[in-house]
Chains A and B, each alone.
Chain A
Amino acid sequence: MNKKNLPIFMSVLITALFFTMIFYFVYTNVQDHYKGYRLISFADAELDVKLFSNEIKQLEMIKEIQTAGGLSEELWSARFQEAMLAIHFQDAGINTMREYSNLIEGRFAEHKREIVISQNLAEKYQLEVGDKILLQVGSRYTGEQVLSPTATYTDKESFKEQENREYTVVGIHGNVYNKYLDISFALTMPEENRKLSPYIRFKDFKAAYQNREQIKEEIEKQLGRRVDLNFSEIMMHYYGVKESGMKAWISTIINIISILFVIFLFVFFVRNIFRVWGLRKAGELSMYKSIGTTNSQIYWLLMKEAVLISLLPILIGHGLGYLLMSGIYYQMQKTMAVDKIVFMEFSLALSAVTLGVALFIIMLAVFAPAGAIAKINIIDGIRGNFYAKSRKRKRYKDLWKELRNNNMASIKSLRYITAVGTIIISCFLIAVGISDYFSEMSFLESDYNINITYKTGQQEVPPVLKEISRHFSEKKAYISRSKYFNMDFEWPLAEEAMASGIDKQLEEYFEGEEKKIEGMLIGIEEEQLNQLGGKKGEFLLRNLVQEDIKLPLAKAKYIRYLDSPSELSIYLSGAEPATKIKITKEITGIGELEEVIRPLEIQIFTDLDTQKELIEGHNKAQSARSVFELKMKVEDSEITDTKDYLEKTLKAGAAFDEQFNLVSGDEIAAKRSIDVRVLLLIIGGIGLVILLLNITNGYACINLSLLSRKREIGSLYSCGMEKEGLIRLYLTEFGAEEIRSIGITALITAAVMLTIDLLSSSISIKVLLLYFPWLFFGVFAVLIYGVNLLIYYFALRNILKQPVVELIRQE
């Protein structure tokens, strides 16, 4: 490769690399998106009847149906050594439909004696695909009561074995049940005599949905009975069958426009590089012309050569892009801790399209410069007099201003190219800011680092929670139960709330719906209530509202909400009848407790017993399930041990119909940082592409500009200007140019922010500014503009190294 072609090589390589990455990224994302939907809804529709497997199979004779299969909703309980299993059943049809599943290893069961077990079981007993396991199938009891196979497994229950069955493990499936339920998922083939719920996958979902009436009739004819054909809501959403055709059209148009925009952008980015390349050849080409070559022959000559020198970098770029993207895809799955890491698929068609697009870009980029070069006047071409030929020049009174402004044209494109690159990054960073904002919106740094939520049918505080809190009595800890309520607007807003425009915020929040005041009735233990200054049976109102609900919790300021309410009529769980509550007193701080006030909500504190009475009074008929919470603070070094202890204690204490979940502070933090890392990875990649393109393009632009000013440099020099003076003059000029470019970037970024502010009701300019990753942006801007300045400096130095006579003479 010719060294002079290095900029072309680089920028074409990056172009191909970028498009490969984008196309493959979109491709895998679209696939993952589909996979995600299929994981939740493997079928397109289901029938509301129960059928035998062979009956279901016959449905496939209907021409619109691709696959039909059945699964059993009746599960089996089975014991394997110490573990309790819940066995599910699905037939061959479902096996085919579930091409995307959480199967980590192996395959689904294809015979009655084959079984898929869950990961936790496999790990616990070191089971592998191919192993034979002996299961005791039977029923679980507490006393006389038969337990559901998916009830929490506790040591208080008994197991009655009905038969022993031997299975071959053929697959390992990701865990299905919350680990604290302590049951394992298993899946096998149903017996022929079991009735199954039928599921259907169509050949063409949209067409099937359109003809659903007719398909239903055919199914009825086939089965000889009336059925309901229920389409999956999830897949209906995926295919957007309920949306108007207009919306689909608009999104297609937007997609096409954005692809064209990106193509155009790259043309813009690489055009100058080909221009410089072509101009270097202009002398030689003019010689051809002077001996009779036509303009169009020259044009095709340039085009052909440009495509030829681009082929190798396109291929390399594509290969690299593919490797890089599969690496990123792999890394992303790893960060997100998916059960089974899959490799990025290679698609020949997609690769062909990518290569085609890259070539198309090159051809567009060569189009204009090649045309212009082909038209260069022969004499000018031979004399090397073409760089600055056709520019419009303006007259100014001041000599230096005239020089500066007339030269601007030669470097102006760089101003916009760098600005465009920086704007793209700043738009991405705005998106980062927004996502950061949303993730922080409802996040508050907590002083407690262990959080237990406990779901139970009882209204009493679960004894196990009491026991734990006693056990840790010297630690900071408290038990609470939050119960949602809402109420009508009986009480006016406080003066401060009115002054801060809370009424308007409420209006906006409820958007035409009937306005309600929402809140939480929080039960705490008597001891804590006393600390807040209340006595048993009293209600304390935490009468605060976030001044600006668009600010995230961590940055919120609170003011007084309602105007001294004395009695409130609340609807517990948002349902009638109303419960009357007498407010004993208003509070603001809640001491050591931590209860987040969500935007526009109020909190009422009372003791757990009083809360229980209210709930029971409100809900006499059904027994509502309650969620108790125990928050604790332990030393960081003790977290793991404490968690082990808590897991054991909770498991021992939990009844079959109770569930609990245990989260520690570090787990929450880890989860939060993953999202940010993935986003930053993507932006970092795009930033790198832009930076590299900017370098090659800057190199081309700057050289083009300086080449066109060679004669000027020589003149200034021979008229007695010093090299240092020249460098200073040119660098100041270029610096001013860069500042202009930064100005454009800032203006457009601000415009984008303002537009978002205007269009979105939940994001204000204040939030955008607050969450914009300034540091990242600053570093990027310094890098991109700094690199330009460096390139300029070295290109200038290079030119000044030549003997002055050479400069004046011009090649």
Chain B
Amino acid sequence: MEILRIENLKKEYGQGENAVCAIDNINLSVERGEFIAIVGPSGSGKSTLLHLIGCVDQPTSGQIRIDGNDISKYSTKEQALFRRRKVGLIYQFYNLIPDLTVRHNIELPLKLDKRKVEQDFFEDIVKKLGLTDKLDRFPGELSGGQQQRVAIARSLIYRPTIILADEPTGNLDRKNSAEIVEILKYFNQQLKQTILLITHDEKVALQARRIITLEDAKIVRDEINE
């Protein structure tokens, strides 16, 4: 079943002479439950693509359909609900609220929907990410890798259909990054969550079933990794 379909997607930054084309006419189709790695040189438009799918940035033209709905036509309210319930975004730079403890940072998406936290699931995630004894700390008191893991936990808590991860292992050592990929794979298999993961690390990329390569704002390769 197709969950994501991208047609003629284009994103330009700036105007006139200074215009930069970050995404240039991309077409893409993703099935439910796929685990995709996105690779490519720096500045090729990987993050931009993820932000567009995650609905935190608006395309210049083209369509992004998720479950058949064109998200670029969403009202701001629908966009907000989409971000809250459908996608979990993990940024290249960790994006936590400095004034909230780790626990509250993780719970945030649920609390925005006034939903109760499923304790078992919460503890499961936290344990898998090795954050159990860090729950009462503030982000400023954690290392970069730990903060990244908190961001991952937050993206998982709502059980979104799509997880968009922008170099989640960029700040981690080999052992830790392997662990993270394992966790993502686990959720991919258990909950049938679709995962799009950006990485510069070949080892990480090779864990994915499908590898998409971006270059100069275009998809230059799209292959199944056996």
Q: Are A402 and B56 in contact (CB under 8 A)?
A: no
Is A503 close to B, CB under 8 A? no
B97 to nearest A CB, angstroms? Answer: 5
Which residue of A395, A719, A725, A809 is within 8 Å of B108 (Cβ)?
A719
Query: How extensive is the interface on chain A, given as a class?
Result: 20 to 34
Q: Which residues of A sit under 8 angstroms from B112, Cβ to Cβ? A: 716, 719-721
Is B57 close to A, CB under 8 A? yes
Stretch of A188-196, A604-612, A707-715 on the interface side: A707-715
Q: Are A393 and B56 in contact (CB under 8 A)?
A: no
Q: List B38-86 residues whose CB lies under 8 Å from chain A.
A: 51, 54, 56-57, 76-77, 80-85
Report Cα–Cα, A406/B104, bound state, in Å. Answer: 13
Report Cα–Cα, A513/B97, bound state, in Å. Answer: 72
A693 to nearest B CB, angstroms? Answer: 29
Q: Are A808 and B93 in contact (CB under 8 A)?
A: yes
Report Cα–Cα, A804/B77, bound state, in Å. Answer: 15
Most buried by A among B77, B99, B101, B154: B99
Q: Are A711 and B97 in contact (CB under 8 A)?
A: yes
Q: Which residues of B sit under 8 angstroms from A399, Cβ to Cβ? A: 100, 104, 107-108, 111
Report Cα–Cα, A771/B82, bound state, in Å. Answer: 59
**Given contacts A718-B56, A804-B57, is CB(A395)–CB(B80) below 8 Å?**
no
Report Cα–Cα, A400/B109, bound state, in Å. Answer: 12
Report Cα–Cα, A718/B154, bound state, in Å. Answer: 11
Is A233 close to B, CB under 8 A? no
Is A778 close to B, CB under 8 A? no
Q: Are B97 and A403 in contact (CB under 8 A)?
A: yes
Q: Are B101 and A402 in contact (CB under 8 A)?
A: yes
Q: Are A711 and B98 in contact (CB under 8 A)?
A: yes
Is B153 close to A, CB under 8 A? no
A393 to nearest B CB, angstroms? Answer: 5
Q: Are B97 and A716 in contact (CB under 8 A)?
A: yes
Report Cα–Cα, A725/B91, bound state, in Å. Answer: 23
Q: Which residues of B sit under 8 angstroms from A407, Cβ to Cβ? A: 99
Report Cα–Cα, A666/B165, bound state, in Å. Answer: 83
Residue of B nearest to A407 (CB): B99
Residue of A nearest to B86 (CB): A720
Q: Are A718 and B83 in contact (CB under 8 A)?
A: yes
B141 to nearest A CB, angstroms? Answer: 9
Is A388 close to B, CB under 8 A? yes
Tell me if A's interface is mostly helix, strand, loop or mixed. helix
Most buried by A among B82, B96, B97, B136: B97
Is B189 close to A, CB under 8 A? no
Is A242 close to B, CB under 8 A? no
B134 to nearest A CB, angstroms? Answer: 13
Report Cα–Cα, A712/B139, bound state, in Å. Answer: 12
Q: Are B99 and A406 in contact (CB under 8 A)?
A: yes
Q: Which residues of B sit under 8 angstroms from A722, Cβ to Cβ? A: 76-77, 80
Which residue of B57, B84, B140 is within 8 Å of A803 (Cβ)?
B57
Report Cα–Cα, A717/B140, bound state, in Å. Answer: 20
Is B187 close to A, CB under 8 A? no
Is B225 close to A, CB under 8 A? no
Report Cα–Cα, A406/B93, bound state, in Å. Answer: 23
Is A582 close to B, CB under 8 A? no
Q: Which residues of A sit under 8 angstroms from B81, Cβ to Cβ? A: 720
Is B197 close to A, CB under 8 A? no
Is B122 close to A, CB under 8 A? no
Q: Which residues of B sit under 8 angstroms from A476, Cβ to Cβ? A: none
Q: Are B80 and A720 in contact (CB under 8 A)?
A: yes
A379 to nearest B CB, angstroms? Answer: 11
Q: Are A719 and B109 in contact (CB under 8 A)?
A: yes
Contact pattern, B 201-217, Cβ under 8 Å of A = 1, otherwise 0: 00000000000000000
Report Cα–Cα, A715/B96, bound state, in Å. Answer: 6
Contact pattern, A 705-748, Cβ under 8 Å of B = 1, otherwise 0: 00001011011111111110100000000000000000000000
Report Cα–Cα, A114/B54, bound state, in Å. Answer: 98
Is A389 close to B, CB under 8 A? yes
Q: Which residues of A sit under 8 angstroms from B93, Cβ to Cβ? A: 808-810
Is A134 close to B, CB under 8 A? no
Report Cα–Cα, A804/B83, bound state, in Å. Answer: 12
B122 to nearest A CB, angstroms? Answer: 13
Q: Which residues of B sit under 8 angstroms from A717, Cβ to Cβ? A: 56, 83
Q: Which residues of A sit under 8 angstroms from B82, Cβ to Cβ? A: 720
Is A368 close to B, CB under 8 A? no
Report Cα–Cα, A400/B81, bound state, in Å. Answer: 19
B222 to nearest A CB, angstroms? Answer: 25
Report Cα–Cα, A590/B51, bound state, in Å. Answer: 89
Q: Which residues of B sit under 8 angstroms from A804, Cβ to Cβ? A: 56-57
Q: Are A805 and B154 in contact (CB under 8 A)?
A: no
Q: Are A711 and B57 in contact (CB under 8 A)?
A: no
Q: Are B100 and A403 in contact (CB under 8 A)?
A: yes
Report Cα–Cα, A809/B56, bound state, in Å. Answer: 12
Q: Are B99 and A393 in contact (CB under 8 A)?
A: yes
Q: Which residues of A sit under 8 angstroms from B76, Cβ to Cβ? A: 722-723
Report Cα–Cα, A805/B81, bound state, in Å. Answer: 18
Residue of B nearest to A388 (CB): B98
Which residue of A389, A720, A805 is within 8 Å of B85 (Cβ)?
A720
Q: Which residues of B sit under 8 angstroms from A725, Cβ to Cβ? A: 80
Q: Are B80 and A721 in contact (CB under 8 A)?
A: yes
A503 to nearest B CB, angstroms? Answer: 63
Q: Which residues of B sit under 8 angstroms from A721, Cβ to Cβ? A: 80, 84, 112
**Given contacts A711-B97, A720-B85, is CB(A805)–CB(B108) below 8 Å?**
no
B203 to nearest A CB, angstroms? Answer: 27
Most buried by A among B54, B57, B108: B108
Most buried by A among B91, B96, B154: B91
Is B195 close to A, CB under 8 A? no
Q: Are A711 and B111 in contact (CB under 8 A)?
A: no
Q: Which residues of B sit under 8 angstroms from A403, Cβ to Cβ? A: 97, 99-100, 104
B136 to nearest A CB, angstroms? Answer: 6
Report Cα–Cα, A719/B154, bound state, in Å. Answer: 9
Report Cα–Cα, A712/B100, bound state, in Å. Answer: 9
Q: Are B104 and A402 in contact (CB under 8 A)?
A: yes
Report Cα–Cα, A393/B104, bound state, in Å. Answer: 14
**4 closest A-B pairs (Cβ-Cβ)?**
A720-B84, A406-B99, A720-B83, A722-B80
Pairs across A and B, CB under 8 Å, 17 listed: A388-B99, A393-B99, A399-B100, A399-B107, A407-B99, A711-B98, A712-B97, A715-B108, A718-B95, A720-B81, A721-B80, A721-B84, A722-B77, A725-B80, A804-B56, A808-B56, A808-B93
